[in-house]
Amino acid sequence: MALIDQFCFSWEELHEKYWPLLYGWKKLLTTEQFNETLHKVLHEQIKPIVMKHEETPAKNGSDFYVGDKMTLADIHATISVPFLNYDHLFTKEAVPKIYLLCTKSSWTMKPFEKSFTVIHQSKRMIIEQILGTGILADFRLG
């Protein structure tokens, strides 16, 4: 469970870097400053960590972060990457393992493949969709 928590916290840290910039700082910076800062955050802070996440299922020997079933770490990945996929930074070719995780939850495929600007669902709505699919039916905590 601690390993799953570690992966989840890592995804949450990426969101903490990204969202304030996108919705807070954007109002305070010039367009040029915003674009430079966003590019720097995406390419120097977020992308390297997402690429480390990409390696995890391969090291586990399965398609999942931990074990052979979807856990909260996998759900964090399938929710996070479409939201963080600004300007198509994370493509099927760039993150094939995470993309494969997304295919296991078909609701994430359209946002993953489209531009960030068309994503209008909140995390809560997405989690409700996951729970509605039965994908967590046999998921047990602890």
The full set of domain ranges for the chain reads: 2-17+44-133
What is the number of residues in the chain? 142
List of residues 6+ apart from 57 with CB closer than 8 A: 63, 64, 65, 97, 100, 101
Intra-chain end-to-end CA distance of the chain, in Å: 6
pLDDT digits (tens, 9 = 90+) for 115-129: 333 333 444 455 455
Question: Using CA of residue 27, residue 28, residue 31, residue 35, what is the dihedral sign?
Answer: negative
pTM: 0.69
pLDDT digits (tens, 9 = 90+) for 87-138: 788 888 888 888 888 777 654 445 444 433 333 344 445 545 555 544 444 4
In this structure, what are the phi and psi dihedrals at residue 137, rounded to the nearest 5 degrees?
A: -55, -40
Topology at the third CATH level for domain 2-17+44-133 = Glutathione S-transferase Yfyf (Class Pi); Chain A, domain 2 (1.20.1050)
